[in-house]
A and B are shown apart, each in its own frame.
Chain A
Amino acid sequence: MGFFKTRLFWISLVMVVVASTLPLYVSGYILGLLTVAYYFGVFAMSWDLLFGFAGEVNFGPTFLIGVGAYTAGIINNQYGVSPYVCIFIGAMAAVIAGFVLALPALRVRGPYFGLTTLVAVLMLQNFIVVFADLTGGEIGLTIPDVITISASANYWIALGFMTVSAAILYGLSQSPIGLVLQASGQDPVQAGALGFNIVKHKLFAFVVSAFFSGLAGALLVFYFGTASVGTVVDVAVGVNVIVAAVLGGRRTVLGAALGAIFLIVAGEFLRPTGELATFIVSAIALLVVLFFPGGFLGAAMSREART
């Protein structure tokens, strides 16, 4: 494996090692912030697998996240099953949801696909509000159990989860499957003519993306202790996931995680500016889209390739 000799691998390794020592010397507040950022990183990476590689604009990442989060939350809330079982069932529910969404969605392309996924989010949102007895409605769902209450342990779980997800998703993107996905995203007709089953590959990408989104969503609600539309389902959350992935650099997977961490940390730094924080973050993202379409990691890697 040539990857283990590349600079990217060593940089990532150093970053993960440094990140894992953070609980020794930073405050619980910063740890909490980064914990959320790491889960967000997984959302963005799973989204990049679909968008960057399969070339499908999924406007509804929060459909998969929300199904995973709410399924895990409801089972815990209603039956008091152990969190680990709930999280597993949540991830499986997201996979099924991804499958159900992908079947009709893969019949259509481009903007039509985008809209189908967007509608899925709006339907889920309506469902949650209508079945308020089960889901907690607009107020949110209380989740009685937690995995752990230690800030450091939660931080390590999130970091470990993000690292493992990143390794799997990045490995997948560099594998032959990832190459076929990329080919079918760029020219589906030609990729099909070469004998690859595009629908099967895209369906696979959808299911993998759904699995990690759902798992991260379920873990996140157990960290928050509550599931609400505003934190895991709302279209605005989905927009943030998309912005994170585009900022970090599409088709890089790892860049998406960087983008998500940047987005959350920047939002926190800009908190003193009050209501203008979102404006500034969006403006930065727009400038990146306009002038560095490759994103953070894309810009860095193309510079390295040039020298």
Chain B
Amino acid sequence: MTNVTSAAQKARMLPLQILIDGFAISALYALGATGFTLIFGVSGVLNLSHGAIMVAAAVAAWAASSTFGVGNYVGAVIGIATALVAALLTYFAVVQPIQRSRRIANEEKEIFVLTGTLLWGIMIQEVIAYLFTNNAKTVLPIVEGVVEILGVRTPRNEIFTALVCCLVIGLLWLLVNRTKMGKAVLAASMNPRGVTLLGLELTNIYVVVWAIYGVLAGIAGVLLGMFLGVSSYSVGPLTASAFSIVVLGGLGSVSGSLIAAFVVGYLETFTAYMISPAYRTIPALLLLVIVMYLRPQGLLGRR
């Protein structure tokens, strides 16, 4: 290193560094949690295989680009396609059979969906570990190099991640609020019976939502793989973080989970920089407990 930055200069850079790193992490969390909350809002399903689907996307992208050498862009597309297939499989193989089962009482379906998707997630995780080992994998980033933002050295990949996340969330907003299909999805989340009375097939809407979810989880997974790397051990923590962000924001409220994602992302980054990376998740967990106690419906949730 030729330019040795002084301690004072470093201290001045720190707030900016937290601001930039925190933004990228938060945007990634937000993207991961939107799909999760969308499914809950529309069909009342909490998909506990979420983390496994994200990791599957990242590992598929990694395998395609580094082992089979198809290039970074094609690799990313393969990753997203994998997540799409996994999400649709989750719906058709696990969620739909439980929802249609006559042997399970209606009030117990929620619990069975939780258990079923949890088991399904473990199965995906084990297949990944079997085929590609438990080692951590980093997907080759699409953009490389570093830039200086006001004196903070930032990988281009980090900026790319944040941009793509914001773009995709924006597109999702347009899709839901400005297209006919999106409006049908929105209507289904408000009143499923009303939608069927209007002659729309509820199953089709659910399939569309699961497909959107798959693409979102896929993009989030591939970006995560480029930014931080994944292994089959990240499955549990990823599901748990999506779950807590979504509950913190209020189940089913997309804007609530966006806010919650930024709160959690910044809190974690701040703790990691200012206290110790070992304590990274503790303040966010404490916050979650406090919110659950004072406002059980979450920040923007309705009772």
- Chains A and B form a bound pair: yes
| A112 pairs with B119, CB closer than 8 A | no
Chain A CB within 8 A of B293 CB:
yes
Alpha-carbon distance between A108 and B111 when the two chains are bound, in angstroms? 15
Cβ distance B68 to chain A, nearest Cβ, rounded Å: 22
Instruction: Give the distance in Å from the alpha carbon of A129 to the alpha carbon of B285 in the complex.
Output: 15
Could you tell me if A108 and B281 are in contact, using CB atoms closer than 8 angstroms? no
Q: Does A239 contact B (CB under 8 A)?
A: yes
A112 and B108 alpha carbons, distance in the complex (Å):
16
The answer to whether B296 touches A108, judged by C-beta atoms less than 8 angstroms apart, is yes
Whether A129 lies near B130 (C-beta < 8 A) is no
A286 within 8 A of B: yes
Give the contacting residue for B126; candidates A104, A107, A276, A294; CB below 8 A: A276
Q: CB of A168 within 8 A of chain B?
A: no
A130–B281 CB distance below 8 A: no
Which chain A positions have C-beta within 8 A of B129? 275
- The stretch of A63-71, A117-125, A143-151 that contacts the partner chain: A117-125
Interface residues of A in 199-248 (CB under 8 A from B): 235-236, 239, 242-243, 246
On chain B, the residues within 8 Å of A119 by CB distance are: 244, 285, 288-289, 292
Q: Which of A24-32, A169-177, A253-261, A277-285 contacts B (4 or more CB under 8 A)?
A: A277-285
Interface check B116, CB cutoff 8 A? yes
Assuming the contacts A111-B46, A186-B107, asked whether A289 and B285 have C-beta atoms less than 8 A apart, the reply is no
Tally of contact residues, B, Cβ under 8 A: 41
Complex contacts, A123 vs chain B, CB 8 Å: 282, 285-286, 289
Q: B126 near A115 (CB under 8 angstroms)?
A: no
A184 to chain B, nearest CB (A): 12
Interface presence of A290 (CB below 8 A): yes
Check A110 for interface membership: any CB of B closer than 8 A: yes
For chain A, the bracket of interface size reads 35 or more
Q: How many whole Å from A4's CB to the nearest CB in chain B?
A: 30
Bound Cα distance A293, B111 (Å): 11
- Bound Cα distance A68, B296 (Å): 28
**Are B101 and A243 closer than 8 Å at their CB atoms?**
no
Residue B20 lies at the interface, judged by CB distance under 8 Å to chain A? no
- A to B contact number (C-beta, < 8 Å): 102
Closest A residue to B126 by beta carbon equals: A279
A36 in the interface (beta carbon within 8 A)? no
Query: Which B residue sits closest to A132, measured CB to CB?
Result: B278
- What residues on A are CB-neighbors of B112 within 8 Å? 289, 293
Q: What chain B residues lie within 8 Å of A283 (beta carbons)? A: 119, 123
User: How far does the alpha carbon of A130 sit from the alpha carbon of B285 in the complex, in Å?
Assistant: 15
Complex Cα distance A32/B46, Å? 38
Inter-chain contact A235/B127, CB cutoff 8 Å: no
A20 at the interface (CB under 8 A from B): no
The answer to the question of B120 belonging to the interface, with a C-beta cut-off of 8 Å to chain A, is yes
Please name all residues of chain B whose beta carbon is closer than 8 Å to the beta carbon of A182 when the two chains form the complex. none
Contact A122 B240 (CB under 8 A): yes
Q: Does A12 contact B (CB under 8 A)?
A: no
Pair B103/A293 contact, Cβ less than 8 Å:
yes
- Additional 10 contacts, C-beta under 8 A, given A122-B281, A242-B118, A283-B119: A107-B296, A115-B244, A115-B288, A186-B107, A278-B122, A278-B126, A279-B126, A286-B119, A289-B115, A290-B97
A-B contact pairs, 26 of them (CB 8 A): A51-B111, A108-B292, A108-B296, A111-B46, A111-B110, A111-B114, A111-B247, A115-B288, A115-B292, A116-B289, A116-B292, A119-B285, A122-B281, A123-B286, A129-B278, A130-B282, A236-B236, A276-B130, A279-B123, A285-B119, A286-B116, A286-B123, A289-B115, A289-B116, A290-B94, A293-B108
